Structure 1
C-alpha cells in the first residue's frame, strides 16, 4: 500500500503543480481583459467567461508593442515616455533599475544567465553551481585586483533567491551545460542530474 501511494504521489504531484502554475499564470493574464470596454468583454459578448482569452490578449499586446516600437516613430515615443518617467522623483529610480535588469536578462545581446559555472562556495571543498551575470563595475573595480566575474548562486529549491558573488575569473569553471539543465539540477536538489559528458583526460 505504501509503495502504491508513493507511486501515485510521484505521478500526480508534478501534474497538480504544473496545472496550478498554469492556472495562476493564465488567471493573472486574464486580468488584461479589464482593459477592454465592458461591452467588448466575453461576458457581454458570449454570455460567459472564456478562460485563456486574456492570455491571448496579453501576448497580442506585447507583440503589437514590440512591433510598433521597432520603427522610428515608435522608438521616438518610447524615448519621450522614458524621458518623462526619468523626471519623476522615486519613479525614475524604480523604473531605471527595473529597465536595466530587464534589458540585461531579456536582451539578445546581453550576457546575463548565458553560462553556468562551477565555483567553490560557501567554503573550500564545497562546490556550487552559479550563473554568470557580467563583470563588476563602478567603484568596486578599483578595489579588486585581477580579473573578476559576477556570479549569481541560486538557492535550492527556490532559485528566485540566492547570493550575488564576485569571484576571480580563474576560479569560475565554465560548465558544458545549458542554463535550463543547470536550473533543473539546482531546483531538484541534484535529483535530476544532467547528462554526463565525457571529458578529455588532458
Structure 2
C-alpha cells in the first residue's frame, strides 16, 4: 500500500504541471478564438490567436506615432479624472508597465530578516526608493517584496537596511519556484 501511495504522489508531481500548462494554453486559444475568430471573414484553427497578436502589434505600433500619443495621453487624463476608475486604471497600468517593461522584476533574490530579526525570508529587490521615501531614513534602505508561499499575488513590501540584505546567487526563476512550491523545490544557483 505504501508503494502505491508513493507512485500516486509521483504521478501527481509529473502530471500536474503538464496538465496545468496545457489547460492554460488551451484557455488562451479558446478565448482568442471565441472573441476574434468568429468575427473574422476567414476561419481556420488559430486565426483568433493570430488576429489577437496582430492587433496587439498594430496598437503598439500606432501608439508610437506622435498624433496617437497625444490622443492616448488625453484618454489617460480623461480616465484618470474619474474617481473610482482612476484608482483601478492607474494601478493596472503601473503593474503592467512594471511587469512588461522591467527585465529586472523578480531577478534579484535576497534573504531578509522577516518577520523578525533572527529569521530569514526569501524576497526580491524592487526598484530604488524614491526621494520622498528615502529621505525618511538615516541610512540606505532597500525595498524588498517578500511573497507568500503558494500565492505570488500576495506578499509584503518591506523596507530593509541595505546592510541586513543577503544577496543570493540563484536564478530568479528558481527562487520563484521555491516560493510557489512552499519550499519543495529548492533554488538553483546561477550557472
Q: Establish whether TM, by shorter chain, passes 0.5.
A: yes
Please state if 1:155 is matched with 2:158.
Answer: no
Q: Offset at 1:154?
A: 0.8
**For residues 88 and 5 of structure 1, what CA distance do their matches in structure 2 show?**
54
- The one of 33, 36, 45 aligned to 2:36: 33
**For residues 179 and 197 of structure 1, what CA distance do their matches in structure 2 show?**
9
Gaps of 5+ in 1: none
**For residues 178 and 92 of structure 1, what CA distance do their matches in structure 2 show?**
36
SS in 1 for 2:153: coil
SS in 2 for 1:159: strand
- The one of 52, 55, 67 aligned to 1:58: 52
After superposition, the CA RMSD in angstroms is: 2.9
Give the structure 2 partner of residue 93 of structure 1.
87
Give the structure 2 partner of residue 179 of structure 1.
172
Q: Offset at 1:119?
A: 0.8
Q: Offset at 1:22?
A: 2.2
Give the structure 2 partner of residue 102 of structure 1.
96
C-alpha change, 1:186 and 1:80, in structure 2 (3 Å) is same
**For residues 28 and 143 of structure 1, what CA distance do their matches in structure 2 show?**
48
Q: Offset at 1:41?
A: 6.1
Please state if 1:24 is matched with 2:27.
Answer: yes
Gaps of 5+ in 2: none
Give yes or no for contact 2:134–2:140 (8 Å, CA) kept in 1. Answer: no
Q: How many residues align?
A: 188
Please state if 1:76 is matched with 2:79.
Answer: no
C-alpha change, 1:8 and 1:89, in structure 2 (3 Å) is closer
